[in-house]
Amino acid sequence: MRPGTADDLPRLMRLWKAEVAAGRQDMLPNERTLRRMLARFDWEAKSRVVEDDGRMVGSVLVMSRPSPDGILTNVYAAGESEVFLAAVEWGVRLSRAAGASVAQVFVGKGQGDGLGAIGLTLVRPWLRMDRNLDRLPEVAAVPGYMLADATTVPGGSWERMFNRTFADHWRFAPRGEGEIIGDHAPELCLMALTSTGGSPSGITIGEVEDYGDDPRPQPVGLVSSVGTLPEHRRRGLATWLVVEMLRRLRDAGARSASLYVDGQSPMKAYDVYRKIGFEVATEAEVWEATFS
Ligand SMILES: CC(C)(COP(=O)(O)OP(=O)(O)OC[C@H]1O[C@@H](n2cnc3c(N)ncnc32)[C@H](O)[C@@H]1OP(=O)(O)O)[C@@H](O)C(=O)NCCC(=O)NCCS
């Protein structure tokens, strides 16, 4: 094992593609997105790669963020059986040494063999739901509300809305404005506001991403950050926002749509999506190590 470097990225991409092909992971962002995500990543301290005869056979990257539950890390490990487990173990140890409260590992359904033995517990399913974009449901505007996007909504509002609507989401971790809307197309950052007073009530963010040889019609319109403030829930806002987002993603060139949802969402968010035509396409498992 040695620390990875940004120059390893092309070889890591090949390794990670093999993970998707083997069903251990669900999908791989394209290289441009990964480079953006890893622009300020501390490779030396937070990554390791495993080589065998010059071939890259394993990797682990650890990303962390503060949350109300303490520091939360995501351990992104790749490789076959023993290599994978060794990579996870390295990431979990680093997480604990860095003072994390929780280290999370996402794996394909049924792919978590051996994780229990190294101190992780299977905590919940994580679903990817897909939908085609051929015929979108007709959804009427919710009386008393209007929709706006980042062409008119002032900066700063997205961060506030994301952090307030997601405050009761499992393992919520606050995010900054750049991370939420970043370089997203402004018309794919949607907000519901009250018609009188223009008070922000719900949001969703979309992006169009090409996943290469993935079986979904490409590019895929990814719907994320769907959130309604508690006092505005159960009025149809999330349904309206997501259907409008699907229309905009299709206009932006997407040929299918996907979103991710907590399989144990207490607000049953998956039912909201199911009602507008999304179906579960893949199921991942979330494993966690927790440290006192
Ligand atoms: C999940 C969440 C986005 C749903 O937002 P919402 O605006 O309440 O969603 P909707 O109003 O469109 O639908 C919610 C329910 O209200 C029902 N509903 C819609 N209009 C209604 C109305 N006028 N009267 C009563 N019920 C109504 C819907 O049928 C739906 O029922 P279901 O729960 O049985 O499926 C919201 O609970 C939330 O922000 N949760 C925290 C963040 C989160 O978990 N986001 C999802 C991440 S994937």
The answer on 202 and 262 residing in a single domain is: yes
> Does position 292 have pLDDT exceeding 90, yes or no?
no
Helix (H, G, I), strand (E, B) or coil at 159: helix
- Strand 102-108 with 70-79, pairing: parallel
Atom index in ligand 1 nearest the CA of residue 261 equals 48
Query: Do 141 and 258 reside in the same domain of the chain?
Result: yes
* Residue list, ligand 1 pocket, CB within 6 Å: 165-166, 168-169, 202, 226-228, 233-239, 261, 265, 267-269, 271-272, 275
What integer pLDDT is reported at residue 76 of this predicted model?
95
Alpha carbon of 234 to ligand 1 centroid (Å): 5
Q: Which atom of ligand 1 is nearest to the CA of 202?
A: 7
Residue 278 has pLDDT above 80, yes or no: yes
Tell whether the model's pLDDT for residue 7 goes beyond 80: yes
Last residue of some domain: 119, 154, 181? 119
Pairing state between β 121-132 and 279-290: antiparallel
Burial of 96 (0-12, 13-18, 19+ CB in 10 A): middle
Give the count of domains, the chain: 2
Do the beta carbons of residue 150 and residue 158 sit within 8 Å?
Answer: yes
Average pLDDT over residues 213-221: 91
Considering the domain boundaries, does residue 203 fall inside one? yes
Segment 232-254 mean pLDDT:
98
In a shared domain, residues 37 and 112: yes
CA distance 179 to 164: 15
Let me know whether 21 and 63 are in one domain. yes
* Substitution candidate for ligand 1 out of 175, 228, 271 with most atoms within 8 A of CB: 228
Q: Which of 85, 119, 153 is the last residue of a domain?
A: 119
pLDDT attached to residue 265: 95
Please tell me the residue having the least CA distance from ligand 1 atom 19.
Answer: 236
pLDDT of residue 200: 96
In a domain, 125, yes or no: no
Q: Which residues, at least 6 apart from 79, have a Cβ–Cβ distance to it below 8 Å?
A: 15, 50, 57, 58, 59, 86, 87
How does the average pLDDT of the chain come out, rounded? 94
- Statement to judge: residues 205 and 274 lie in one domain: yes
119-156 per-residue burial string, b: 16 or more CB within 10 A, e: under 16: bbeebbebbbbbbebeebeebeebeebebebbeebeee
Q: Mean of the pLDDT values across residues 244-272?
A: 97
What mean pLDDT do residues 36-43 have? Answer: 89
CA distance 15 to 83: 12
* Ligand 1 midpoint to CA 289 (Å): 31
Residue 288 lies in a domain: no
Smallest CA separation from ligand 1 atom 48, residue: 261
Question: Among the atoms of ligand 1, which is closest to the Cα of residue 227?
Answer: 39
Each residue's pLDDT tens digit, 117-167? 999 999 999 999 999 999 999 999 999 999 999 999 988 899 999 999 999
Is there a domain that residue 70 lies in? yes
Please report, for the domain that includes residue 52, its CATH number. Answer: 3.40.630.30
Is 124 part of any domain? no
How far apart are the CA of 262 and the centre of ligand 1, in A?
A: 14
Ligand 1 center from residue 7 Cα (angstroms): 44
Instruction: For the chain, give the percent of residues with pLDDT over 90.
Output: 86
Q: How far is the CA of 283 from the centre of ligand 1 (A)?
A: 22
Do 181 and 84 have their domain in common?
no
Convert the pLDDT of each residue in 95-120 to its tens digit.
999 999 999 999 999 999 999 999 99
Q: Is residue 292 part of a domain?
A: no
Beta strands, E only, the chain = 47-52, 55-67, 70-79, 102-108, 121-132, 145-149, 189-194, 200-209, 220-228, 256-262, 279-290
Q: What is the reported pLDDT for 172?
A: 95
DSSP single-letter state for residue 73: E
In sequence order, what are the residues at sequence separation of 6 or more whose Cβ sits closer than 8 angstroms to the Cβ of residue 2?
Answer: 48, 49, 51
- Do 202 and 259 have their domain in common? yes
Ligand 1 geometric centre to CA of 36 (Å): 32
Q: Which residues pair with 129 in a beta bridge?
A: 259, 280
Gap from CA of 129 to ligand 1 centroid (Å):
16
Domain-located, residue 1: no
In the prediction, which pLDDT does 124 show? 96
Q: Is residue 156 part of a domain?
A: yes
Least Cα distance to 24 among 144, 140, 115, 150 occurs for: 115
Same domain, 175 and 268: yes
Q: What is the Cα 74 distance to its own chain's centre?
A: 11
Same-domain status, 173 and 268: yes
CA of 96 to the centre of ligand 1 (A): 36
Ligand 1 atom with minimal separation from the 225 CA:
47
Q: Which pLDDT value is given to residue 155?
A: 85
163 and 268 belong to one structural domain: yes
> Are both 134 and 258 inside the same structural domain?
yes
For ligand 1, atom 3, the nearest C-alpha belongs to: 227
Task: Residue 28: give the domain boundaries.
Answer: 6-119
Residue with the smallest CA separation from ligand 1 atom 4 is 238
Of 79, 100, 119, the residue that ends a domain is 119
Q: Same domain for 142 and 186?
A: yes
Can you tell me the distance from the alpha carbon of 77 to that of 207, in angstroms, rounded to the nearest whole number?
25
Q: Residue 112 has what pLDDT?
A: 92
Please report the pLDDT score of residue 37 as a whole number: 82
3-class DSSP assignment, residue 245? helix
